[in-house]
Amino acid sequence: MSNLICTGHEGRSWIVCWTIQTKAIGYVDADYYEVFESLAEARQRFDIISRKDSTYVITICAVMHSSDYETHPAFEETQ
């Protein structure tokens, strides 16, 4: 992990995104995401999803800018 990542703040600024690939019906992909308040919660969900055979890709993201979620402190502009 980068040293820019701050884990001690509150706010929904961690997102786990993943794609499920269904091979039975011709490799159809479906994208999903969940939002978390802590890196620990995001990692826990990441670990669960990554163990599923149908998971094609998965990532944990910190919010840089959003209309819906709090900006992660590592990306906040200084005043």
The whole-angstrom separation of Cα 34 and Cα 38 is 12
User: 3 pLDDT band (50/70/90 cuts)?
Assistant: very low
pLDDT digits (tens, 9 = 90+) for 13-32: 899 999 998 877 777 889 99
- Higher-pLDDT residue of 27, 36: 36
Helices (H), the chain: 39-50
pLDDT digits (tens, 9 = 90+) for 42-69: 999 999 999 998 899 999 999 998 888 8
| Predicted pLDDT of residue 58 | 96
User: 2 pLDDT band (50/70/90 cuts)?
Assistant: very low
